[in-house]
Copies of this chain bind each other. A is one copy, B any other.
């Protein structure tokens, strides 16, 4: 067995043994996914040798290329909280990648090291309430003004994933030279983390999706991430890997849901035979097999391109856009079929598939709604050589 295949097996084993029992407590029984629970799971992942598929070995990570990440994260994604348990869940996944590529050495030590090793969590404050930046980053309203000592940030954000309890928040704000990213510490008095928004995906993310306000929030020059005015390029550095990580994780959950469904249909009987023998059920099962295989192929292709050409190459951006669009919709279809094939049980939150479906809905919107992605895919195709 190759080292990656072994790691996949170990990750599967870890999820089965340590994560899935907890998942049921969290998803069905309402146990709160707080940092104590997260740290406990991550401790077990470290013990099992499966922690940090996105992290550098110097931070205790596995040092995998993107193709290997695809296989490992699909295994971790078998549980809704599996990716978190190995420290590959949003937004930390993307922030680890971002900081590894653009943070200066001091920032890496201060922010990346504890994040990549699972010591702390982080957030990125990008999306704003209307009329601010949503899908269109050029509508950014949050402003950073230069002062004698650094910068002062003012503006409102929302859907800031993981903000409650995050050790730091990466804030994207408008400066005279253009959008810029700032590292804002948790204890900065100008950082006001508001309510957790009541989103449909509410069980898996410690720190929720928060409303966040920056009120005369002062940060030093050393808080600037990368170059002033190049915040959108930095966002692009983060975007392709982040989209793909999402795909890997959710594909894992789709595979799990399909397994739960197969288990159900062979046991449950109706009209004289197991549901597994009903033609229309078989059609749904086959469609999910096809969706899963196609999703896996698109992820593998895009991962190979990132490894070969880099995450900001035009080809990587095109392929991750395609993958994100297809996979988010394919996962949704697989989970929806899983619910349908569970019959009444499928809409009862005693059963994981009901909750999986609801949790997954946002995936078609976060990190680029399907319609915005289709638009960008079409424009790239139209620009291509003919």
Contacts and interface: CB of A to CB of B under 8 A. Distances in A.
Contact of A297 (B28, B297, B340): B297
Given A322-B289, A343-B369, A381-B285, A139 B348 contact: no
B197 A278 contact: no
A131 interface: yes
A337 B382 CA distance: 15
Nearest to A298: B297
Contact of A365 (B271, B300, B347): B347
Interface string A315-356: 000010011011000000000000110011011111000100
B325 A290 contact: yes
B282 A375 contact: yes
Contacts of A198: 28, 348-350
B298 A374 contact: no
Nearest to A130: B268
B199 A374 contact: no
B197 A282 contact: no
Contacts of A323: 293
A28 B347 CA distance: 20
Contacts of A347: 199-201, 361-362, 365
A281 interface: yes
A270 interface: yes
| Interface range for A | 35 or more
B348 A199 contact: yes
B280 A371 contact: yes
Contacts of A357: 361
Interface stretch (A93-101, A116-124, A259-267): A259-267
B285 A340 contact: no
Give the dominant DSSP class at A's interface.
helix
Contacts of A26: none
A232 to B, nearest CB: 14
Interface string A360-386: 011011100111111101110110101
Nearest to A201: B347
Interface in A155-209: 158-159, 197-201, 209
Contacts of A17: none
Interface string A253-293: 00000110011011111111000101111111111011001
Given A200-B358, A279-B279, A297-B300, A381 B340 contact: no
A340 B300 CA distance: 27
Given A290-B322, A297-B297, A344-B159, A269 B139 contact: yes
A107 interface: no
Interface string A292-313: 0110111011000000000000
Contacts of A379: 282
Contact of A326 (B138, B276, B290, B372): B290
A283 B378 CA distance: 7
Given A293-B298, A298-B294, A386-B262, A284 B371 contact: yes
Interface of A: 28, 127, 130-131, 134-136, 138-139, 158-159, 197-201, 209, 258-259, 262-263, 265-272, 276, 278-287, 289-290, 293-294, 296-298, 300-301, 319, 322-323, 325-326, 339-340, 343-344, 346-350, 354, 357-358, 361-362, 364-366, 369-375, 377-379, 381-382, 384, 386
